[in-house]
Amino acid sequence: MSSGRVSRHARMRLIAAVATVCALSSASLAPQAAGAETPPYSETHRPRFHFTPEKNWMNDPNGLVYYQGEYHLFYQYNPNGDSWGDISWGHAVSKDLVHWEELPVAISHDDEEMAFSGSAVVDWKNTTGFGTEKNPPMVAVYTSASKKDGTQAQSLAYSTDRGRTWTKYQDNPVIDIGSKEFRDPKVQWHEPTGSWLMTVSLSTERKVRFYSSKNLKDWELLSEFGPAGATGGVWECPDLFPLAVDGDENNIKWVLVVNINPGGIAGGSAAQYFIGDFDGTTFTAEDKGTYTPPAGTVLEDFESGDFGGWTTTGTAFGGGPSAGSLSGQLPVEGFEGKGLANSFHGGDGATGTLTSPEFTVDSPYLNFKVGGGRHPHEPGTVMEQGPPPAGTVLADFEGGAYGDWTKTGDAFGDAPAPGTLPGQQEVSGFLGSGLVNSFLNGDATTGTLTSPAFTIDRKHINFLIGGGNHPSGSFDPTALELLVDGKVVRSATGRDGEALNWASWDVGDLAGKEARIRIVDQHTGGWGHINVDHIMLSDTAARRVSQETSVNLIVDGKVVRSATGPNSETLDWASFDTRAYAGKKARLQVVDMNTAGWGHILVDRFTAADAPARSVVERADWADYGKDYYAAVSWENTPGGKRHMIGWMSNWEYGGAVPTSPWRGAQSVPREMALRTVDGRIRLTSEPVGALRSLRRQGGPATAAGVTVTDGVKPLIGPAAEGEALDIEARFSLKDAERFGLKVRTGADGEETVIGYDATTEELYVDRTRSGTADFSTTFPGVQRAPLKAKDGKVRLRILVDRSSVEVFGGSGEAVITDLIFPDPDSRGVKVFAEHGSVKLDHARVWHLGSYRD
């Protein structure tokens, strides 16, 4: 991992950010029922069999090594709070990869550096001289993140007492190339060359470097790999290892894992991989050939001199298709023919729409190419800002002074700002002639602005907010906070844009409480400021104004499918599944309502087809197709040469806002990795480590067999199968159902997490749109999908259900989906379902699982 990765939410922004999708406009940060009185490890949402620290923030796994009967799990850790910051190496050990013991912090941050991600090895030959050959040292190779200037370099620490205490090497760093984007070294012994091999990331260049050393101190550059595969975000936490194909030791391939954020298959963070060969110097990925999209009927290719029957509003799209890039724009690539629709007319500040004539949906898929900004469509937004809802205005910042608000620091000045400040991009979206704007003298200034006390007597608090995306509780926030009894109970932040937009807190549960509003700017780096205006109490939630750059399919006046660009001027294929709308009238609408960075969209070649086109991201290979498996790395020196991998079970889109306390962050179940030939292609597969079975409770599983379900839902077995920590094995025989599977953590008001198989698309999926608490991030609800073909007409699933997660392994482990969920503790049901036909559940076995601390 790095801990210092760019574009991570709730993470260090000393580092210049790569343009990313900014998540989270408002979130409930109220402490859950599991307060200080609750015994450790019994809190709501605390995992039973996934490792979590007793308290505080945890993200990427680090330093995975086996030594003297112990598997060591180090991890990025903040010893001083439950948000990202003061990053150090936490430490836990296990004898079986299942039962874990948390140990004291191993490698601590200090006045000069934080200890970002890396790896650990046993220096058996004492090449470093840190130990002896009789007592070889454990050596950690980590990224030193300078607190002074953000430089990232590779450093050493060592231990001669089985990892219990660590000493930083006095001549650190051992590799320093003067970069702020150089991190996450994975080191191993490469026997053929008799050398140490380091795999490390040049994150923003989307490259991996390989270095060689004889002593872990002096390193020689060997080669580079990349960019390749998915490149929509920074590359982090690389790993390189050999595996036998189908168990054949005479057929060895090398696997290069490269974690990416954002730009993953399900959005945000994810772990991709490449299969190829490594000759001791260079990694060469297998050639996957060129891609040809499905043929079909072209509906619009933008090759004529005007938009024909398409209608425009605004100025962004000009009078007709463009021939490529426009004035002031980077080179536009990837479009077909000579023309495309390009909303960069007038630059990013221009807005508008481009709408097709009405047509009848008569094909299963609508394929097209899209590029430009990553600003997704948000359901419920409006195209234009109307008057705010009726209510009581707490502050409109129109009086030329802050009145009885209390100010600290120098970021807010002596009075509200009249709009854009010197050196600032244009500020828009505020009401009247004044607003709070902490850009006074640039991003380097800091401070707070706190309201007088007021009583919450309406259901909502509405406000306009913009500026930096540094959430409350994170390292140096820029945030609007609601304080009750001195505690932050609600928080909101901007989205790294100067345009203010409405946000709303539901405060119905706080009725009658005395509260204050605090505006905080503690950030001195990029987007280190906040814009706020028109704070009001109302019985109606304000509706956000669209800031999307998107392609929308509209049926019956509603947006039913949507796609956005990847913050790139290179167009790539996208696809709408239109089967549900066959025979209906529809329109396509290309929308640019964004005036900030990447505030434009590119689109070309709408084609009706019988099969979906696949983007570069979809054609890449992924170790996990869920939203919550990142920074995946593997253990070195494991018994029997097995390759075990683990990942941080979260996503930087919302990792700093998940509703857990007093800890934040969990690790996945360790997985045994293999290379298998699936449908004629070599795939990296994974399955839970065998020792997990030791957590199965005595008494055997609850079982079901030979159950046929037709167009409905029924309990899987009954109360014996219900629970919050389960290990489920199920096999289905396909009949004619379009979709089928299991629903877990079911409860009142339709709460459920759906684990299904779509026979029409041959995909495994997890639907967490109704899985429980999800209001902390707009990107959390959704459906994650993984390609999975039935084998001999059957679909096999292994499902691990915990208090706040599901991990689903399909087939032979080639389709894996890991997702966080936050259900009500009383939602414990398990049901089997079928849609539009019948399916046969051949058998199911459900075990209750104990805790890793038992």
pLDDT at 37: 62
| Catalytic pick among 60, 443, 604, 628 | 60
* Residue with more model confidence, 11 or 578: 578
Mean pLDDT of 836-845: 97
Asked whether the predicted pLDDT for residue 21 surpasses 50, the reply is no
Strands 663-664 and 56-67: parallel
pLDDT tens per residue across span 791-802: 999 999 999 999
Mean pLDDT of 620-629: 98
Q: Is the peptide bond before 173 cis (omega within 30 degrees of 0)?
A: yes
CA distance linking residue 596 with residue 680, whole number of Å: 46
Asked whether the predicted pLDDT for residue 26 surpasses 90, the reply is no
Asked whether the predicted pLDDT for residue 484 surpasses 50, the reply is yes
pLDDT at 261: 94
Mean pLDDT of 454-458: 97
Q: What is the pTM of this model?
A: 0.87
CA distance linking residue 775 with residue 769, whole number of Å: 11
Mean pLDDT of 606-630: 97
Could you tell me how far CA 469 lies from the centroid of its own chain?
15
Asked whether the predicted pLDDT for residue 9 surpasses 70, the reply is no
pLDDT at 85: 87
pLDDT at 475: 63
| DSSP-based helix, strand, coil % in the chain, nearest 5 | 5, 45, 50
Asked whether the predicted pLDDT for residue 336 surpasses 60, the reply is yes
pLDDT at 35: 39
Q: What are the tokens at 227? A: 């960019």
pLDDT tens per residue across span 532-586: 999 999 999 999 999 999 999 999 999 999 999 999 999 999 999 999 999 999 9
CA distance linking residue 235 with residue 204, whole number of Å: 7
Which of the four pLDDT bands, split at 50, 70 and 90, describes residue 13? very low
CA distance linking residue 828 with residue 801, whole number of Å: 10
pLDDT at 168: 98
Mean pLDDT of 487-504: 90
In what order do the strands lie in the sheet containing 56-67?
Answer: 100-107, 88-94, 70-78, 56-67, 663-664
Asked whether the predicted pLDDT for residue 47 surpasses 80, the reply is yes
- 18-33 b/e (C-beta count within 10 Å ≥ 16 → b): bbbbbbbbbbbbbebe
Asked whether the predicted pLDDT for residue 159 surpasses 80, the reply is yes
Q: 489: part of which helix (H) or strand (E)?
A: strand 487-492
pLDDT tens per residue across span 627-637: 999 999 999 98
pLDDT at 385: 80
Instruction: Report yes or no: 801 and 695 within 8 Å, Cβ to Cβ.
Output: no
* Least confidently predicted of 148-152, 174-178, 601-605, 778-782: 778-782
* Least confidently predicted of 13-27, 73-87, 193-207, 598-612: 13-27
Q: What is the mean pLDDT of the chain?
A: 93
Q: What is the CA radius of gyration of the chain?
A: 27
Mean pLDDT of 355-378: 96
Side chain identity at residue 850, one-letter code: G
pLDDT tens per residue across span 725-775: 999 999 999 999 999 999 999 999 999 999 999 999 999 999 999 999 987
Question: What is the DSSP secondary-structure string of 103-166?
Answer: EEEEE---SSEEEEEEEEEE-TT-TTSSS-SSSPPEEEEEEEEETTT--EEEEEEEESSTTSS-
Percentage above 70 pLDDT, the chain: 95
pLDDT at 386: 82
Q: Is 60 a catalytic residue?
A: yes
Which of the four pLDDT bands, split at 50, 70 and 90, describes residue 474? low
Mean pLDDT of 19-30: 32
